[in-house]
Amino acid sequence: MVDSSGQIFTIDALLALLLITILIGISANTMGIVGDKILEYSSEQSIQRIAGDTADELIKTPGMPENWENYKYFTNIVPGLADIENGTNKFGNILSMRKISSLKKNPELIKRLLPENMDCNLIIYPINTSIPVIDVISKTPLKGDVSVVNRTVLYDYKLIDIYSNIKPDVIHVNGSEYICTHSYTNPYSHKPPDFNSRKSGWLCAAFNIDLEDIKSKDFYILTDPVMSDNTDFHASWILDTPNRIINNSQNFTSNPMLINSIISELSESKNREIFVLHVFIGGDIKHSFNTYIVGVPRGTSAQDVRLDNINPQPAFLIMKLWIK
Amino acid sequence: MENKGYILGGLSFLLIIPSILLLMVLVDMVNMDESVDTIIKSDNSFYISGDVERNIPIITRQVLKETVDNVISNGNSIPNSRILIKNAVEHRMNDLCANYQNNSGVNIRCVINSVDSASDPFEVEVNSTILVMKGNITYNHIVNQNISILGTDHRNKFSINSNDSNEISDPLPFIKCKKIGGMSIKNARISYGSSLKKYLEGVNGSEIYENASSPYHIKRCPYDPYKSHGNSTKLTTLKNCIDNGYYHESNDGACLLCRLEGRATCNHYGFETFIVPSNEGNQKFIRATCSIDHVIFGNKNFNDSYPGDSVQYYFNNNTAYELFLDNGHRAKYGVPDIK
């Protein structure tokens, strides 16, 4: 008689069971490790992605509505820092200083861009180290995973408004230049300079300032490059109106000059005042310069009125994101 | 039947299952690269669409300038300026998009929906749709842009480099008077010769417009509010405005696109300028056709051409410079009733 019972408990069957158990254990463990790795990777990617997307949205969009920084109440506003070029619908890669200041005063607005469980801080480091660091949202990150986004941006210190900007150029086309208001009443009319024959002359331009701005801003005249006091040729300037012609000019100085007194003296208290700036420059194009009339909010310190702040400045925008 | 092989066979089969699972995990991990690829493609499309969007104002301005220059050189009006300019811009944008396609494989199309006058008469509004397709990523959005028709550096910035090639000229005087003959351009001003007098033939006082002149380039007047033109004691602001050849916003004057069609007035918010009589003649008129371009070129039947009273705005060496303004324009420019 053949006895077939007892097969199950042989040693090789037990060995096989052992092997199977070990293999299943290892593969389950590996799957667990891989699963954890995937989860960690995707959650890290998702925080990184959220950080990248939030920074992109801040930098590349002007916010909703586009001029949200002018509003008093921020109930339905989505912040954005991109600057809208004057009078157009275009927004480029330049950040607006006004929007940055508004966000700094109301840091809770950033929550509109972030998921509920995340928090962030935002600092702007200008590449020119003489300009102070702008701490837009200052919070300390918690211990744990912090995702950092570093973007290079340009920001425009738009707290300075340029009202007039005279830039000399070599090309001088007959008949297209501005005919100055001094041409009529003055025997010494303002003729433009001729850089080709090195003749000095006047460059003149008319511009407007609203009465509101005259009352709320300080106005300065400054040059680019800064005037040095040791030149042989003394460039000078006149600020007047079409109705009140002034013949006496003033010399430029190396620092921006406050011209509030001249403006209020010339002002006729109309809603919008017209001024004419006349600049006397030499015939040497190498020593020529740009002249600006700028307005800054009243009370701004004179040190903040600098050429750096007129043109867009490059900076690093660093945003750190973490889970609360 | 032999039952001996079942248990060991079954147990070895069980060994295969974890290896299959391990294989599946491996294959999955390898496939994760696709999502990164998608992000790169999507960014590329976005940047290209931004590029195309930034080219629209540049190309539109070129087309506008060329269209105006064509009209000026042949004196013919265009039947439908908006459609013509829209088609021309779209044609050039297609060339640009074909370049992108050849270089980067991104399938991009720009459809110009409309070209029309903007709320600012010195601007033209362009509405377009940009469609981008790369692989299975598509991206499209509608863009509305306002393009200035003034020369560069026209606002708060002033540059002595007002290069002729930057500024757009006024086509209307050429459409009306070029075929009559005698027009010329001197010192950035249009000199009509006898053409304007012949154009106004039959109207009382048309002789005063012999050798009249008006601005050639379109420039916005900085003396805003306009009442300040008359506010100076001897109307020097008005004289300065005329000498510089500035244009003023006007409800009656035609916008640039309607001027290309030969219309002096239109329903859109447009602009106007002064056409000043020459002061060399000896004729003295107390009333003549109002010296504003949309009045003079208004209507061949001269129903729109109303007379104005003489305003002497400047004296020099016994020459009186005068022009004619009706009451409405006197009030607009703040010119008092002086003769």
For B223-257, what is each residue's pLDDT tens digit? 888 988 887 667 888 988 999 999 999 999 999 99
Distance CA A273, CA A295 (A): 14
- The answer on A218 and A152 residing in a single domain is no
Distance CA B52, CA B68 (A): 24
A301 touches chain B (CB under 8 A): no
| A276-290: average pLDDT | 85
Q: What is the DSSP letter of B204?
A: T
Task: Look up the domain containing A104 and give its range.
Answer: 44-157+311-323
| Residue B35 confidence (pLDDT) | 60
- The answer on A98 and A199 residing in a single domain is no
Residue with tokens 């916010």: A63
Q: Which two tokens stand for residue B17?
A: 């299952």
- The answer on A294 and A170 residing in a single domain is yes
In terms of pLDDT, which residue wins out, B304 or A97?
A: A97
- In-domain check, residue A258: yes
- The answer on A129 and A170 residing in a single domain is no
Distance CA B88, CA B80 (A): 12
Cβ distance of A181 and B237 shorter than 8 Å: yes
pLDDT at A312 over 70: yes
- The answer on A243 and A188 residing in a single domain is yes
| Residue B154 confidence (pLDDT) | 40
| Residue B122 confidence (pLDDT) | 93
Cβ distance of B236 and A7 shorter than 8 Å: no
Residues with Cβ within 8 Å of residue B91, at least 6 apart in sequence:
none
pLDDT in tens, A152-211: 988 876 567 778 777 776 555 444 577 888 887 666 678 888 778 888 888 888 888 888
- The answer on A223 and A99 residing in a single domain is no
- The answer on A190 and A137 residing in a single domain is no
A136 touches chain B (CB under 8 A): no
- The answer on A102 and A59 residing in a single domain is yes
| Residue B156 confidence (pLDDT) | 33
- The answer on A192 and A65 residing in a single domain is no
Looking at beta carbons, which residues of chain A come within 8 Å of B156? Answer: 162-165, 207
Shortest Cα distance, chain B CAs vs residue A86, angstroms = 10
CB-CB neighbours of B137 under 10 Å:
15
CA angle B59, B62, B65 (to 5 degrees): 150
| Residue B106 confidence (pLDDT) | 78
Looking at beta carbons, which residues of chain A come within 8 Å of B244? Answer: 178-179
Looking at beta carbons, which residues of chain A come within 8 Å of B12? Answer: 16
A5 touches chain B (CB under 8 A): no
Sheet holding B157-159, edge to edge: A257-258, A217-224, A290-297, A161-167, B157-159
Cβ distance of B239 and A184 shorter than 8 Å: yes
- In-domain check, residue A135: yes
C-alpha dist (Å) from residue B193 to A231, B173, B210, B241, B289: 50, 12, 6, 22, 17
A185 touches chain B (CB under 8 A): yes
Distance CA B148, CA A19 (A): 81
Cβ distance of A176 and B153 shorter than 8 Å: no
| Residue A64 confidence (pLDDT) | 83
In this prediction, the residues of chain B whose per-residue pLDDT falls under 70 are: 1-4, 29, 32-42, 152-165, 232-233, 281-283, 299-305, 338-339
What percentage of chain A exceeds 90 in pLDDT? 8
| Residue B4 confidence (pLDDT) | 66
pLDDT at A85 over 60: yes
DSSP lists the bridge partners of residue A315 as A126, A153
> Per the structure, how many domains does chain A have?
2
- The answer on A143 and A72 residing in a single domain is yes
- In-domain check, residue A23: no
Please state, rounded to an integer, the average pLDDT across all residues of chain A.
82
Looking at beta carbons, which residues of chain A come within 8 Å of B120? Answer: 87
- The answer on A149 and A91 residing in a single domain is yes
- In-domain check, residue A15: no
- In-domain check, residue A32: no
- The answer on A132 and A107 residing in a single domain is yes
- In-domain check, residue A201: yes
Helix, strand, coil shares of chain A, percent, nearest 5, are 30, 30, 40
| Residue B160 confidence (pLDDT) | 40
pLDDT in tens, A10-40: 777 788 788 888 888 888 888 898 888 888 8
| Residue B72 confidence (pLDDT) | 93
Distance CA B204, CA B287 (A): 8
Distance CA A209, CA A277 (A): 12
